[in-house]
Structure 1
Amino acid sequence: MTRVALIGCGNRGADVYGALLAAQGASITHLVEPRPARRAEVAARHGVPPEQQFAHWDAFFALGRVADAVVVATPDDAHVAPCLQALALGYDVLLEKPVCLHEADLDRLLEAEAASTGRVTVCHVLRATPFFQAVQAVLASGQLGQLVGIVHAENVAHWHYAHSYVRGNWRLSPPAAPFLLAKSSHDLDLLRAFAGAAPHRVSSEGALHHFRPEQAPAGAAARCVECPVLGCPSDARAIYRDRDPTRWPVTVLTAGGQTLEDALRSGPYGQCVYLGHNNQPDHQAVTVVFGNGVTAQLTVSAFTHNNTRTLKLLGTHGELRGHMDWGELEVHDFRTGTSRRWVVDTAGTHGGGDDGLVRAWLACLRGEASPPTPLAQSLDSHRLAFAAERARQLGTVVELAGG
């Protein structure tokens, strides 16, 4: 049985990767989590004894190599250190994105992996979805001819943006990753995969338009449970009370045994979105030119109803359109004048991508399959994100080496 240690027992580390690994036959043998209540909660799920629970990864790594692999799902600013320590011991690592907050750390991770017997798999789960695998199959078939352009949108959904990027752990950068890196390294990774080449040049525009103190409705209170304003789209009462209490995002509020109502009364997720505790852009557009001439446009926006991805791939012989939320794909063939439309299963978190990635990673650990996406290719998404953030802040076009 494959033995896996969880370093970070938050929503992604425990509720997603830990649960999926256990469901697919892996054994969760060690836990690293600084919050005692949360650590105890996750330990009870997996039967992890007290002597195999730790508040910090240093204590875990001091044991030497006691598992087969580790999941690193700590906060954004604490990914690099445990990953480097894991590689030094020869562990294979499933590393949550974004992998780092500083561009120089990308080369540090590559060098550490090259010197290790372990390998790093970045949690770019969208590549593992049936939906985007179907898109890749169309590209590989040649139906579109030569790929010329990509138009891709990540529709964050207004409530999701409020949850994660106004009230949540990613509301301030730093210490969290910039919005594009935190939310859309998945999408940048897809663009890189579709283009089939390294990025060459990038530009970007974006700003924090709405979630600012001057946009607050008259009479708004500091907490939603005390607010008399009706019809606010970011009212935490409506966002959380009307959702399944056993699933994300409500489980983020209730992790560690807190009730939803207590969280709304005293925690960050019950605060007004116009307090000014955030600085992430709420709308950003990016243009990328890849080394083979493919041009891609990515728009990431809070001002959407659906929490989904939509895309168009533009080729010399055809066009593909896709809507992930519906699982719908449509290909138009310019040569025959015909079109084909079909629906792909998108059940599961991230459209089945979380499950797909964990399965692929476990198959690799067991020697049953090749490794998932190589680290060097996965990190192109991060190089793109760092370059796009520089371009946005400086109002310039950034060239990337090697594209």
Structure 2
Amino acid sequence: MRVESHTAGSDPITVAVVGCGQRGTHYSVYALNEPTKCKVVAIAEPRPQTRKNFARTHSVDGSLVFQTWQDLHKASADTIKTIGKRLADAVLVTVQDSMHLEVVLAFAEQGYHILCEKPMSTNLEDCLKMDNAIKKSGVIFGMGHVLRYSPYNQEVAEVIRSGALGELINVVHIEPVGYYHFAHSYVRGSWSKEAESCFSLMTKSCHDIDILCHYIADAAPSRVSSFGSLKHFRKEAKPKEAGAAKRCLDCSYESQCAYSAKKIYLDSLSPLVHGGWPSSTIVDGVPDIENVTAALHNSRYGECVYELDNDVCDNQIVNLEFSNGVTASFTMIAHTSLICERQTRLHFSHGEIVGDMSTFTVTNFRTGEKKLHTPSLEGGGHGGGDLGLIRSFVEAVRTGRQEVLGTDISQILRSHLTVFAAEASRLEGRVVDCAEFEKAARERIGV
């Protein structure tokens, strides 16, 4: 087996990718665009065609291509034991959410620096265990809260920190998930059932609670309340014209349905260019007409959105009070034409910022000046946030400085705890004290 040595001098940071799906692919593009800074040297992926394609794209040696993360971990343990070196400098953990804890703990114990896709985990106790393990290992740790790393949010944060608009008083933030995005991911997809994944405020919107914590960086959430429900994607909302049809390809009402699988996955395919989200995510290999059609006949992605067993909220609001008195409100809503194009208003004592994740306008009440900011749009998803995160992580590993990431495991845990507290509020119908909530959780598991 060929083993990559630990980074020295100007050598690129080497990474092993655990999970070669959408998120693993997005982060790993950096290695293709900046080969002198980052190189993928090992992968673990259970799907044969996805594994083959990823290995070929990154020219990964066949001896370092594994079917499971356990195989990769064992190979790493063998090389550490025999020659005293890990397979790579860092591991990208981009597997299903429920697997994050076991993968992170296993590779942290071996001394790998880790970039983990959000969320930390799907339950509160596991997040606390991960926090404890990362602190014990002392490795560099990054979390897939990519919104922090987009040029847009970095520029917004600069205005906040400058004090030019006075004291921040209130933030209003909305995430329009998108009607077909929600149907794909949270009705038909991997995040549709809380028991198999987690509640939607965590799986979709921990990004947003984190960006609020980032904006209000000099304080911690102190109290939270929340309301929400699964309002639409239920059998009771099924159009009568659809009758007893269980699959879109068998439904006479399909052409009139906003959530038609044929419209979402087949009609969006170009006859000239294969690929594109979301069609690319429902097949193993090339998302051509034949493969996608087969998926619609045989998989959950072809089923009627009103006949499935999904149970996560399609709308939710969260109200936050921070320790410095700043208040914030957040809304997650499925039924929008915009796809994850967040809208934000930040209100200060002497001005305001109004933005849409692409541009933002700053109004200074003292001077009367109103200025439009148009941050540079880099490549990659989330307005350049994906690129910004992996670039920052690689630099943090190269320099051995956690602060390059602008956050650490304690802050990452805090925003996750806030999400769990908000969901507790929704379920229990009460205002939750964040400090008491964390204390009780730690007492339960003894950390």
| Runs (5+) with no aligned partner, structure 1 | none
C-alpha displacement at 1:263, in angstroms?
1.9
- The aligned runs of 1:167-246 (5 Å cut-off) are 167-196=188-217, 197-220=219-242, 221-229=245-253, 230-240=255-265, 241-242=267-268, 245-246=274-275
Aligned partner letter, 2:250: E
Change (3 A) 1:255 1:346: farther
- Matched-pair contact (CA < 8 Å) for 2:128–2:413: no
Residue of structure 1 aligned with 2:140, choices 102, 112, 119: 119
CA distance in 1, matches of 2:356, 2:102: 38
Deviations 1:66-90 (A, max 9, x none): 1110000110100001101111111
The reply to whether residue 351 of structure 1 matches residue 390 of structure 2 is no
Task: Measure how far apart 1:236 and its partner are.
Answer: 1.7
1:216-365 correspondence runs (5 A): 216-220=238-242, 221-229=245-253, 230-240=255-265, 241-242=267-268, 245-257=274-286, 259-307=291-339, 308-324=341-357, 327-347=358-378, 348-365=380-397
| Amino acid aligned to 1:328 | T
Q: Aligned to 1:10, which of 8, 21, 24?
A: 21
TM-score (norm 2): 0.86
Shift of 1:247: 2.3
Q: Does the 8 Å CA contact 1:24/1:359 hold for their aligned counterparts?
A: no
- Gaps of at least 5 residues in structure 2 are 1-11, 78-85, 439-447
Distance in 2, matches of 1:232 and 1:2, equals 48
* 1:354 counterpart SS class: helix
Secondary structure of the residue aligned to 2:215 is: helix
2:50 counterpart residue number: 38
Query: Could you state the TM-score of these two structures normalised by the residue count of structure 1?
Result: 0.95
Conserved in 1, the CA contact under 8 Å of 2:359 and 2:372?
Answer: yes
| Residue 8 (structure 2) aligns with | none
Deviation at 1:250, TM superposition (A): 1.9
Identity %, equivalent residues: 38
Indicate how the Cα distance of structure 1 residues 59 and 254 shifts in structure 2: closer, same or farther if over 3 A, else same.
closer
> Could you report, residue by residue, the CA deviation over 1:204-245 in whole angstroms, capped at 9, with x for unpaired residues?
000000000111112422122222113211112222222564
SS of 1:254's equivalent in the other structure is: coil
What RMSD over aligned residues (CA atoms) do the two structures have, in Å? 1.7
Q: Kindly indicate whether the alpha-carbon contact (under 8 Å) linking 1:147 and 1:316 is maintained by their aligned counterparts in 2.
A: yes
Which of the numbers 9, 23, 33 marks the counterpart of 1:23?
33
Cross-structure match for 1:157 = 178
Number of residue pairs the alignment of both structures matches? 400
Alignment match, 2:411: 377
Answer yes or no: is the 8 Å Cα contact 1:6–1:28 preserved in 2.
yes
Task: Report how far residue 252 of structure 1 moved.
Answer: 0.5
1:303-347 CA-to-partner distances (Å, cap 9, x unmatched) read 1111110000011011110012xx121111111223112322345
One-letter identity of the residue aligned with 1:330? T
Retained in 2: the 8 A contact 1:330–1:341? yes
Cα deviation, 1:75-106, whole Å, max 9, x if unaligned, reads 01000011011111111000010111111222
Structure-2 separation of matches of 1:114 and 1:335: 45
